[in-house]
Chain A
Amino acid sequence: MKRILLAILFLGTFANAQNTSIEKDSSDVVLDEVMIIAVKNKMKTDIKKTISVDEFLASSDNISFIKRGAYAWEPLLNNMSTERSAITIDGMHVFGACTDKMDPVTSYVESNNLSDIDIKSGQEGSINGATVAGSIDLKRKRTSFGLGKTWHGTYQTGLEFNNKQLFNLGNVSYSSDKLVADGSMSYRKAENYTDGNGDEVNHSQYEKFNTSLGIAYKTTDLSSVRIDAIFDKAKDVGYPALPMDLSLSRALITSVTYKQFFKNKLIKVWDTKLYFNAVEHYMDDTTRPENLVHMDMPGWSTTYGLLSKVNLKKENYSSEIQINAYNNLSIAEMRMYPQDRSETTMFAYSWPWVTTRYAGLSMSNLWNISEKSQLNFGGTLGVNYNFSKYAEFNWIFHPGASQEKTRFLPNLYANYQFKSGVFNSSFGGGYGHRAPSVSEGYGYYIYNSFDRYDYIGNPDLENEISYEANASAGFKNKKGGLQAQVNYFYIQNYIIGKILSQGSPMNYQSVGVKGYTSLDHATLFNLTMHANYSILENLHWKGTLTYARGLDENKNNLPFIRPLSYQTSLHYSYQNLGFLTSFHGDLKQIDYSPEYGEDETPSYTNWNISADYTFYIKNYKTVFQVGAENIFNEYYSTYADWGNIPRMGRNIFTSLKIDL
């Protein structure tokens, strides 16, 4: 049934794509441009034209990944895990439904329904919700009103040979003066991948279907209403680093937005959004007959919220004021089956129906002091409320802990930027609180297969408080540029798992019980160097170097801190042809953290190469690309590969993209 529907949709896409017309000059539609900012599609990397969301995120300097397999990588921003960053879709809060972080929010979107990913480092990201590391906002793709070419479509397909991944991504958009619609659909299916030794990595397959729809209607000349929906479904996803896989995960992400513009007023635009999303996630271990205990571990996460913001502008000063409120209910169950199935099953909640309510009022300001300098500053005052319906689960380890808890979360930042000729520099600071996540506060026997401990949350953990300083300096001319960025976080009450002397493991693979505990403090330092140079008009070089160090209160290393890493690439274009080659890798992880289950990870280097060719089929721009990743077929795993699972070996990929 689903296949048929899919086919119908694709046929529709092709049929619609026939109606093309001449593109209108964009200057005619200034207001429309503002109304729905038509962002150019940035969802591609240097090496690949058609990518997954994870691959795109990986191209950002600030992002590294914890990988539990080939699918749904957990993005680490500034080397901090997802609890510390605010991950949103168009400002909407979505929370994964898996206690083992098998479904970061980024796994519920697809590259062809996004236009860009907005990454803000540190407290600047607090406008999207209380954070320490920063924010990752996934921007939906939006077409402007009144584009001359009413129908537009894109179709991308490709094959990755290593894991036989076949993907088909289709997009269609319609634009008229009154009505705009964007639709997308995608399907990916991959088999197990093969590592550098030529061995198949079992349980690394996946299957993902994603579709999205957005319809906007101009209610007056200065206002519009927009409805958006994303539906995502992943099936039969293997997690080689975990003792269980995923049988099904599903997300429905919806919103209604009303936008009002004002002419010649201090207020420029008022944008209000109501949203609702529901995520369900069903883990499955029937694929792992070696497991001693059969377990069902379903999880659900439902969120609704409100986002309302006004943009003000007067002369050299602009400001955004935002109200952000949401309610989330997270539920996760575990049911263990005894060997003798006639015996009673054993049941417990790993998230005992935890409600999180957050409301925040935030403001971000930009003041252009002079042509050379500007000041960014802002802050948020948030209230965070938690309620655990079955608090008796939490009381087992923390007798008398609060069933409900209200926290005030202030966040502040300022950043000064200065530009003079070819030089630029900036410095800034921030201060902010975050509340413990659902797992950190209320998690109950959440098995972590990395350090092999069962984790217990503590409802009365203190807020994590971050003091942050950042600076950058750079140089840029016509031929190239050099940019260096540093940031330093001093985080009070840093939350991390510590071995508990009480209790005994529940999961049979586990070696003990850890409780989320606040360290007195931890510090994190990140450095990024970026250089680019145009050797010839059509020959460009780029290089990036990152270094990070994280220490706890006793100057021991924090886990999941990326060792010195580098990336260098050379791009050459000739007429319709483009060639790219890149090297990237990490040095040996010297500063690993044995206390938190890490071992030393050796260095690795990957060499990638790709070539693309642009041509026209009946006026339709077509790009064909072929390339190879990990050409050396190196056997490696990175510092953040869960359980040291090996990464993919040599992978040849092809893709074809047609603009219709």
Chain B
Amino acid sequence: MKRLHFVVIVIFVLVTSCTLEKTDYEAELSTETTEYIEFEEVTSITSGDYIISIEALNATLYKGYNEIHLNIINTQTNVSLQDKDVTFLPIVTDANGNKSSCPHAYNLEYNATEGYYLGYAVFTSESDTTISWQLYIDFQEGSQSYKVDQSITVEKQTNMNLNMTAFTGNDNEQYFIALVSPQSPGVAENDLVAGIYKYNQPTSSEGTFPDPSQYAYSVVQDYTLLLDPRMPEASMGNHSSPNNQDLTMENDGLYHGVVNYTMTGNWTLNFIFQNEKGETLKGTEVSTEFTPGIEGAKSDLYIDILF
């Protein structure tokens, strides 16, 4: 009889002892975002004895910020071209045939340890049937100069943490802000990195196409990007986080700050863009009120992210 009791209880416990699954937090963080670390070849161009291999993360060029590595190899000697002047110019042609560019590094920097030329491009639109992107790469070897161009495809950026925005400031200049990092944020303090660029209005008329003076962009120096992150979901009532730091420029030419995300989901990074004198060029202060059920108003200048 006693044994029966025991058996009955054991069975009972076993029958009912299934539990709700715990959340796999690491998997939770990567549902909306994928972090790419490896640079892989997007495309390659042959010009004379040289083959130019263009590398980017995940072998893809996306709308927004792209770090670009160029390997230039002599196919005859199998030796890579070292420390030469290499220029890089992306040109987009829209449906009306108008040509323009996007923020980019025109003179590529040679990285001796890794053996590649380093650059970036902030593609402002995705390729489609009417919009096409073309890369113009020039370099000189001895007396011989090489000029190549290659059409490329700019894909939609599915990771909202690498979103970008383009706007005209109060000073009538055209500015671009592109998120660089983190690719996959956590519910944590995240180092927020962004590139801020402006279009240099040409001072002379256009020469032979492609004339780089018509398509010049530069890194905005020593401005400040004030940050106020908030959750846009109405039920979150304009929720924000503590201990965030505004973005300021560092030696790598990028702007660094700190954003705290208190939970996963949709966040809006509200910005105020100020020049070195502290004058606001774009952006408005947002309400800090907690308003459950009511979506908080966004700044004039913002980028939405999701993780």
Contacts and interface: CB of A to CB of B under 8 A. Distances in A.
A9 B236 contact: no
A245 B2 CA distance: 37
B264 A211 contact: no
Given A12-B5, A504-B290, A344 B13 contact: no
Given A211-B9, A392-B186, A392-B188, A505 B237 contact: yes
Given A346-B264, A395-B188, A231 B235 contact: no
A31 interface: no
B189 interface: yes
Interface stretch (A335-343, A358-366, A577-585, A625-633): A335-343
Contact of B32 (A172, A181, A344): A344
Given A298-B20, A336-B235, A347-B23, A396 B189 contact: yes
Nearest to B28: A347
A472 B77 CA distance: 98
Nearest to A396: B260
Contacts of A152: none
Given A282-B20, A395-B189, A396-B260, A338 B239 contact: no
B22 interface: yes
B187 A280 contact: no
Interface string A106-135: 000000000000000000000000000000
A509 B239 CA distance: 12
Given A344-B306, A346-B231, A392-B187, A231 B264 contact: no
B158 interface: no
Nearest to A280: B19
A166 B32 CA distance: 49
A346 B188 contact: no
Interface in B256-271: 260, 262-266
Given A174-B2, A233-B16, A506 B292 contact: no
Nearest to B187: A348
A contact patch SS: mixed
B204 interface: no
Contacts of A8: 4, 8
A508 B237 contact: yes
B140 interface: no
B9 A213 contact: yes
A339 B187 CA distance: 21
B186, B240, B241, B262: most-surrounded residue (chain A CB, <10 A):
B262
A390 B235 contact: no
Contact of A346 (B8, B16, B233): B233
Nearest to A252: B13
A397 B241 CA distance: 9
Contact of A396 (B9, B13, B242, B293): B242
A9 B13 CA distance: 14
A220 interface: no
B167 to A, nearest CB: 26
Interface in B284-307: 288, 290, 292-293, 306
A292 B292 contact: yes
Nearest to A337: B235
A357 to B, nearest CB: 21
A347 B264 contact: yes
Nearest to A391: B188
Contacts of A536: none
Contact of B265 (A2, A215, A345): A345
Contacts of B5: 9, 12, 172, 181, 183, 213
Contacts of A334: 263
Nearest to A503: B242
Interface in B193-243: 231, 233-243
B17 A252 contact: yes
B234 A339 contact: yes
Interface in A1-21: 1-2, 5, 8-9, 12, 15-16
A interface, size bucket: 35 or more
Given A292-B292, A292-B293, A298-B20, A503 B25 contact: no
A511 B237 CA distance: 11
A395 B1 CA distance: 57
A252 B16 CA distance: 11
A467 interface: no
Given A8-B8, A338-B233, A504-B239, A347 B263 contact: yes
B15 interface: yes
Interface in A344-396: 344-349, 390, 392-393, 395-396
A300 B22 contact: yes
B290 to A, nearest CB: 5
Contacts of B240: 503-504
A231 B13 contact: yes
Contact of B12 (A231, A298, A344): A231
Which of B1, B31, B266, B293 has the most chain A CB atoms closer than 10 A to its own CB?
A: B1
Contacts of A300: 19, 22
A390 B266 CA distance: 21
Interface string A180-202: 01010000000000000000000
A16 B242 contact: no
A338 B235 contact: yes
Given A215-B6, A250-B16, A504-B238, 19 more contacts: A2-B12, A5-B12, A9-B8, A213-B6, A298-B22, A338-B233, A338-B265, A344-B32, A345-B264, A346-B233, A348-B263, A392-B188, A393-B187, A396-B260, A504-B239, A504-B240, A505-B239, A508-B236, A510-B290
19 contacts: A2-B16, A8-B4, A229-B9, A231-B13, A280-B20, A293-B235, A333-B23, A346-B236, A346-B264, A348-B262, A396-B188, A396-B243, A396-B262, A500-B242, A502-B242, A502-B243, A505-B237, A506-B239, A506-B263
Interface of A: 1-2, 5, 8-9, 12, 15-16, 172, 174, 181, 183, 211, 213, 215, 229, 231, 233, 250, 252, 280, 282, 292-293, 298, 300, 331, 333-336, 338-339, 343-349, 390, 392-393, 395-397, 399, 445, 500, 502-506, 508-512
